[in-house]
Amino acid sequence: MTVFNQTPKLRIALLTLGCKVNQYETDAMKERLEIAGARIVGFGEAADVYIVNTCSVTNVADKKSRQMLHRAKRKNPESVIIAAGCYVQAAKEELEKDPLIDIIIGNNRKKEIVSVLDNYFRTMQKASRVIDINHTSEFEEMGMDHIEGHTRAYIKVQDGCNQFCSYCIIPYTRGRVRSRSLLEVKKEIIRLTAHGYKEFVLTGIHLSSYGIDLEDGTNLLTLIQTIGMIKGVERIRLGSLEPRIITEEFVRQVKEIPAFCPHFHLSLQSACNGTLKRMNRKYTIEEYMEKCELLRKYFDHPAITTDVIVGFPGETEEEFSETVKNLEIINLYEMHVFKYSRRKGTRAEKMADQVDEQVKNKRSMVLLEMTRRQKKEYEEALLGTIEQVLLEEAVEADGTVYYTGHTKRYVKIGVLGEHLTSNQLVDVKIQGFSEKGFLIAEVI
């Protein structure tokens, strides 16, 4: 008899820190634990086991991972604490010595969560399942049948990164590029469409690298085309992309797929060539601008979003001014602005000319104000247009209850109408803005 067959059921709480890939893996662990017989509870509730799927992208992420693990132990000192994921890969020895942590599970071993936990309760000895992630070519298959509480399904198709940007630890915690087989992706999406899912978001640590390790010639374009032919798939959305994957052929081909969403999170990090070179990014700002124009050539009003880091080591006032000037020209739908944070173990940590925190704050405010303005201008251009919205949840604003959802361009819309339900696709006419910032529309 395993611990999962006991009465009452084993109560397990899971918490995700970090990226969408982590969220996918948490959902997959949750499904495995439920099938085994566990009762899943909220992370704020009393539980017998707490699992924190950790992040290590910055020193701050490391700190938060430690805090959440220790906070869980304080909730129930008798509970079993499991650290999983990237922070485990980065701090294996430290976690093995931590008396509050009972089990550590690295990347590419999360699929073993049931057997690891069952074995722990048999032996009551601290367990460690961590491989040398830099020397594996295995893609960890964790396909799911259903995802509770979501209207869109994130599909992990790729893991690892070969880029080695000077500020990033992820290649060391996720390993080299590993792609999921086209057949396994297809099988998972077919299962999820049977449960009513209409929108699928392809995600990975470095999505643009999908297929480079496969021998059958599959790449990201053929993956998208295959998914687009599956019955029940209404939307295909992409995670973060590298600029160089945006070629004339790629854009022309995805444009022909009815389910494809013209929402592109095109990675940038800086709009200055000098800074990009120090970051070890593999493109110039001129190339990036060309890619944006290519997207706008084929798609009407595509939503192009990005990430920008301010205060990278050596970033002068002149370089930041160049970034501001170029970002004004590019005119993105939305920017996620980050202040550079030193990450132990990266080349950038030891670079000269680290930027003062006050300067980072000032530069961050400049770009945040820019993106607020550009986002408003983009959304104002949608007023009076007809869009299709995938409904998600009811929200109250302006004293009115709206059913909110997103367009194909991932613009949030609050819809007025009768008999609206979650996971419903409706055509609407956009009319204005709500007090909470999202656009208001009526069903047509």
Summarised one tens digit per residue, pLDDT across range 61-87 is 999 999 999 999 999 999 999 999 999
Token pair 């006419």 is at which residue? Answer: 429
**pLDDT digits 0-9 by tens, 237-294:** 999 999 999 999 999 999 999 999 999 999 999 999 999 999 999 999 999 999 999 9
Report the pLDDT averaged over residues 26-40: 96
Residue 1, pLDDT score: 55
Q: How far, CA to CA in Å, does 158 sit from each of 34, 184, 390?
A: 25, 12, 26
Residue 417, pLDDT score: 85
| Residues 322 and 272: beta-carbon distance below 8 Å | yes
Query: Band of the pLDDT at 138, cuts 50, 70, 90?
Result: very high
Give the Cα-Cα-Cα angle 317, 322, 325 (nearest 5 degrees): 125
Average pLDDT, the chain: 96
CA 278 – CA 348 distance, rounded (Å): 8
Report the pLDDT averaged over residues 94-114: 97
Looking only at the bridges linking them, the beta strands covering 39-41 and 11-16 are parallel
Report the pLDDT averaged over residues 113-134: 95
DSSP class of 113:
H
Residue 169 has pLDDT above 80, yes or no: yes
Report the pLDDT averaged over residues 142-146: 88
Residue 339, H or E segment? strand 334-339
Query: Band of the pLDDT at 210, cuts 50, 70, 90?
Result: very high
Residue 418 has pLDDT above 90, yes or no: no
Report the pLDDT averaged over residues 327-338: 98
- Select from 348, 288, 292 the least CA-distant residue to 323: 288
Percent of the residues in the chain that have a pLDDT greater than 90, as a whole number: 95
What type of residue is 332?
L
Residue 184 has pLDDT above 60, yes or no: yes
Residue 227, pLDDT score: 98
The answer to which of 138-147, 290-299, 365-374 has the lowest mean pLDDT is: 138-147
Peptide bond into 8 cis (omega under 30): yes
Cα torsion 58, 64, 67, 71: sign? negative
**pLDDT digits 0-9 by tens, 377-403:** 999 999 999 999 999 999 998 889 999
Residue 317 has pLDDT above 70, yes or no: yes
Residue 149, pLDDT score: 67
Looking only at the bridges linking them, the beta strands covering 80-85 and 103-105 are parallel
Buried/exposed 223-250: b ≥16 CB within 10 Å, e otherwise? bbeebbebeebbbbbbbbbbbebbeeeb
